[in-house]
Structure 1
Amino acid sequence: MHYVYILKSNKDNHLYYGYTNNLKQRLNKHQEGKVFATKLRLPVRVLYYEAYMNEDDARARERYFKTGWGRNYIKKLLINTLKQ
């Protein structure tokens, strides 16, 4: 399986968008501070993830989430979750 996921920093509310083929292992790396992009923003929590059978589909979705349209989509989709 291939995953696209969104993390939220409890420190500064920053959203991180990522891709992996092993979600549990990748989340552990984030929590251990082994991912450069999130290590200064710990702790982080999973807000959302999607699973795909095809790597290209997952990577395309990650690229979309990183666009302005994708960020707006996520803000609308997770409107109540982002308030927490």
Structure 2
Amino acid sequence: MFFVYILHSTEFNKFYVGLSQNIDKRLKEHNEGWSKSTRAYIPWRVVHSKKFKTRMEARTREKYLKTAAGRRWRKDNIDLGD
């Protein structure tokens, strides 16, 4: 199984979209500063995830979420609980 996930940094109001087979491990890596692109915005929390059977399906969804249409979807569908 593969997961597409959206992280949010409340402190900086930043989002990150990624793909992984293990969300818990990947979130830990993001919060420990392993990823150059997310290091500056620690701490992160998962605000959305979706499971896919294949890496190709997950990658298609990840790419969509990184487009303008995907950002609009995120704005309309992700409740940050603020």
Q: Say yes or no: TM over 0.5.
A: yes
Question: Matched residues, percent identical?
Answer: 37
Instruction: Give the number of the structure whose residues are more often helix, by fraction.
Output: 1
What CA deviation, in whole Å up to 9, does each residue of 1:48-72 have, x standing for no partner? 0001111100000000000000110
What CA deviation, in whole Å up to 9, does each residue of 1:14-57 have, x standing for no partner? 01010112212111101111111111101111100001111100
Q: Which runs of 4+ in 1 moved over 3 A?
A: none
Structure 1 gap segments, 5+ residues each? none
Count of residue pairs brought into register by the alignment: 82
TM-score (norm. length: structure 1): 0.91
Structure 2 gap segments, 5+ residues each? none
Q: How big is the alpha-carbon RMSD for the aligned residues of Structure 1 and Structure 2? A: 1.1
TM-score (norm. length: structure 2): 0.93
Partner SS for 1:82:
coil
